[in-house]
Structure 1
């Protein structure tokens, strides 16, 4: 019989107690409105070329997309907020079109994370946060997605942390936040501890050049990648690679079954650690975000 590969495990050699209380309905029990225990699954954005007729019924008005989406998924990661703070009427519309249990994650504006990189951005940040607060109890994690920084931007992780730490201290404690970086050499216990001090999640991404959780044990600096009382996962893929195959996101074009099977094992450990899990599939991961989520669900059901 062919030997089975070892199950992926998070590196917990340097695990520290989680900061903050685990919210109710985050303790691994089945959520009334979720098909998985303590896990909320959705896609990055709720519209895309190719979704009409494959995910949304043919002829459906775009104004009805979000309402339909919320019948299939419990959460969405809003991508458009990265480009600009939405009008208040738009945010109120999102609230009105979704059920009480729906959760919106949102990207912080690029003016904060890319253009000004946390410096002299108080006006932009406060405007964004005040606008998103209109979602009330439906507002979930806010993601600070940083790009790759070369040495002309920051010489090293400590230089970046010297800017990040003071900003994190200003964040309201009653909201969830996550930080994503694209410099894999910065991923170490020191970086994780800086986030853990503020109960901010390190975004765990499945992306072309960044390590997945089960690969972090092979890194020179072992650390526990769980830095908050929740986990934030993004299935991103290889943007340039997949766009050589397709730019219409109507079907799966990259087989991610093996990768998602590894994620199932990682999520099982998340649940064992009483974490609330937010996970979002990008079209660039396999070709169709909704199909990726549904495949993960099927693989989860086989194991649980």
Structure 2
């Protein structure tokens, strides 16, 4: 019994669970107390979860002052996992993307030790016809990332599942992001020493995100078992949940925390106040 508990605690210490983004107005009065100002959402969020995927960076590289603010108001052990701007993946499609990628990496380095893996999310029309661009980009992005930035990639076309793509990612120690997403088969493949799992659901499934509206407990249990069964193969697992998975991602993330034995991140007194 004691050995089982030790294994459970050890797994929990290697897992991070959070949501995709934190600045949702619908969460005011539900996850966030109504009196909490939007500028203080992230510090409040970090009282419950130990990681977050930054969704806003998908639209543009943030200001350095904003990144430093995020680092200032969260606990020492907290992790931010930013999505790379769509300029790089959707518009440039990895071609002539060095300057923008380096600028993004350098900006996010202002998070210091709180910078988690950086996610490249590719569009559905990025297919095997662009493998040459992808394979040319992989060694370059690892060079630009250096020793302090880990990289994960999520593909949304079936032609990029498995085979040469997985081998190439593994060769460069880049994580293939697993996803539970309606347009793609559920998949879990380890290509690095960390696991990056995204529980997305179906976009637009719920009209509002103030409360849970679906029940995917069976799916969550299945994913938790997958993480437990494969634990010897990775050093860290990061799981991020979208509002569209059950309608209210904080609730879903708390369920996943419980399944993995993760306790709430910190006491409120451990979080520094707002800079502003």
Tell me the TM-score range normalised by the shorter chain.
0.7 to 0.9
> 1:209 Cα shift?
1.7
Contact residue 193 and residue 233 of structure 2 kept, 8 A: no
Check if 1:205 corresponds to 2:179. Answer: yes
Match of 1:140 in 2: 116
Check if 1:238 corresponds to 2:202. Answer: yes
> 1:124 Cα shift?
1.4
Contact residue 161 and residue 194 of structure 1 kept, 8 A: no
Between the two proteins, the alignment pairs up a number of residues equal to 254
TM-score by length of 1: 0.78
Contact residue 19 and residue 249 of structure 2 kept, 8 A: yes
Match of 1:165 among 124, 138, 141: 138
Contact residue 56 and residue 68 of structure 1 kept, 8 A: yes
Q: Structure 1 residues 56-65 or 227-236, which shifts more?
A: 56-65
Contact residue 270 and residue 277 of structure 1 kept, 8 A: no
Q: 1:46 to 1:159 in 2, by over 3 A?
A: same
Q: 1:84 to 1:269 in 2, by over 3 A?
A: same
For residue 104 of structure 1, give the secondary structure of its aligned residue in structure 2. strand
Contact residue 40 and residue 75 of structure 1 kept, 8 A: yes
Alignment of 1:20-169 (within 5 A): 30=9, 36-149=12-125, 154=127, 156=129, 158-169=131-142
- Tell me how far apart the structure 2 counterparts of residues 121 and 67 of structure 1 sit (CA, whole Å): 33
Q: 1:165 to 1:95 in 2, by over 3 A?
A: closer
Identify unmatched segments of 5+ residues in structure 2: 1-6, 262-276
Contact residue 237 and residue 284 of structure 1 kept, 8 A: yes
Higher helix share: 2
Contact residue 141 and residue 177 of structure 1 kept, 8 A: yes
Identify unmatched segments of 5+ residues in structure 1: 1-27, 215-224
Q: 1:188 to 1:98 in 2, by over 3 A?
A: same
Check if 1:189 corresponds to 2:163. Answer: yes
What is the alpha-carbon root mean square deviation over aligned residues?
Answer: 2.0
For residue 165 of structure 1, give the secondary structure of its aligned residue in structure 2. helix
Contact residue 156 and residue 186 of structure 1 kept, 8 A: no
- Tell me how far apart the structure 1 counterparts of residues 177 and 167 of structure 2 sit (CA, whole Å): 14
